[in-house]
């Protein structure tokens, strides 16, 4: 089986000295069913280039999971007034280093939610810090209830000439939704899917840059039990390894 480094969402921000490294098991389960074994990535604050190379050596791919918010300082903005931003400073240091090294070495990368937002910011993009505050015409993208994390909440429209369209086999996908931030400028990535209200729902790298390079804003890991398109997303990632 292929080996995937999973940059997880299991941080404990309330008690930093007791921070844990982990991830929603749904990611590991989805990747395992697609043919890969996952290894949780500890978020180190400082690593030399040599250590970074040793860290990713032996992994066939890297998947960036959801989690807390990206620090707006990374895209040269102050904290937006009244935005409910929860920052994971450890991942804000560690994650960009891993992504940039993976892109340099052409290690297949993919991700969801925060993983999508981090990909854009790491390559020069920016975010809307709070959709409700900054995109007044947008619909609600946060959870109405905990049970809703497993259910389709809205439709996204996918560009016909995108690899995501090829992967899931359709230009429409009804997805779950639990995010209050979204991609504003996509950096080195191309926007390939949007919700009906214009919120960015997927980005991907241009052809030839990375064997996979697709990041989605939804949480496909929570949809694999009933959604063939979610399963196809993870299968395509593993097949690219």
Domain positions in the chain are 2-239
Cα–Cα distance between 179 and 177 in angstroms, integer? 6
Residue 81 has pLDDT above 90, yes or no: no
Q: Which of 93-97, 162-166, 191-195 has the lowest mean pLDDT?
A: 93-97
pTM, entire model? 0.94
Cβ neighbours, 10 Å, residue 231: 18
What is the arithmetic mean of pLDDT over 145-166?
A: 85
Split at pLDDT 50, 70, 90, the class of 10 is low
Cα–Cα distance between 75 and 92 in angstroms, integer? 11
Split at pLDDT 50, 70, 90, the class of 87 is confident
Split at pLDDT 50, 70, 90, the class of 15 is low
Element at 2 (helix H, strand E)? strand 2-7
Summary mean pLDDT of the chain: 90
* Protein fold of 2-239: Rossmann fold (3.40.50)
The residue ranking higher by pLDDT, 167 or 52, is 167
**Which tokens in the block code for residue 207?**
């052809």
Residue 143 has pLDDT above 60, yes or no: no
Split at pLDDT 50, 70, 90, the class of 147 is low
Cα–Cα distance between 108 and 92 in angstroms, integer? 20
The residue ranking higher by pLDDT, 57 or 235, is 235
| Residue whose C-alpha is closest to residue 64's, from 98, 90, 29, 37 | 98
> What 3 state SS string does 33-71 have?
HHCEEEEECCCCCCCCHHHHHHHHCCCCEEEECCCCECC
| Residue whose C-alpha is closest to residue 168's, from 201, 129, 122 | 201
pLDDT of 20: 74
Packing angle, helices 49-56 and 89-105, rounded to 10 = 70
């Amino acid at each position: 089986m292929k080996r995937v480094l999973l940059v997880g969402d299991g941080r404990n921000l309330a008690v930093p000295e007791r921070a844990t490294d982990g991830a929603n098991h749904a990611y590991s389960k989805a990747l395992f069913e697609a043919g890969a074994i996952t290894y949780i990535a500890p978020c180190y604050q400082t690593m030399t280039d040599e250590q970074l190379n040793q860290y990713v050596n032996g992994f066939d791919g890297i998947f960036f999971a959801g989690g807390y918010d990206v620090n707006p300082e990374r895209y040269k903005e102050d904290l937006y007034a009244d935005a409910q931003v929860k920052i994971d400073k450890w991942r804000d240091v560690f994650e960009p280093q891993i992504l940039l090294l993976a892109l340099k070495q052409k290690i297949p990368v993919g991700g969801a939610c925060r993983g999508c937002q981090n990909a854009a910011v790491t390559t020069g993009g920016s975010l809307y810090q709070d959709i409700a505050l900054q995109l007044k015409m947008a619909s609600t993208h946060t959870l109405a209830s905990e049970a809703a994390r497993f259910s389709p909440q809205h439709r996204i429209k996918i560009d016909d000439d995108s690899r995501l369209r090829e992967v899931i086999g359709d230009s429409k996908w009804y997805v779950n939704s639990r995010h209050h931030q979204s991609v504003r400028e996509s950096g080195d990535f191309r926007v390939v899917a949007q919700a009906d209200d214009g919120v960015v729902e997927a980005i991907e790298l241009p052809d030839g840059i990375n064997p996979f390079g697709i990041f989605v804003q939804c949480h496909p890991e929570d949809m694999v039990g009933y959604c063939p398109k979610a399963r196809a997303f993870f299968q395509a990632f593993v097949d690219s390894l």
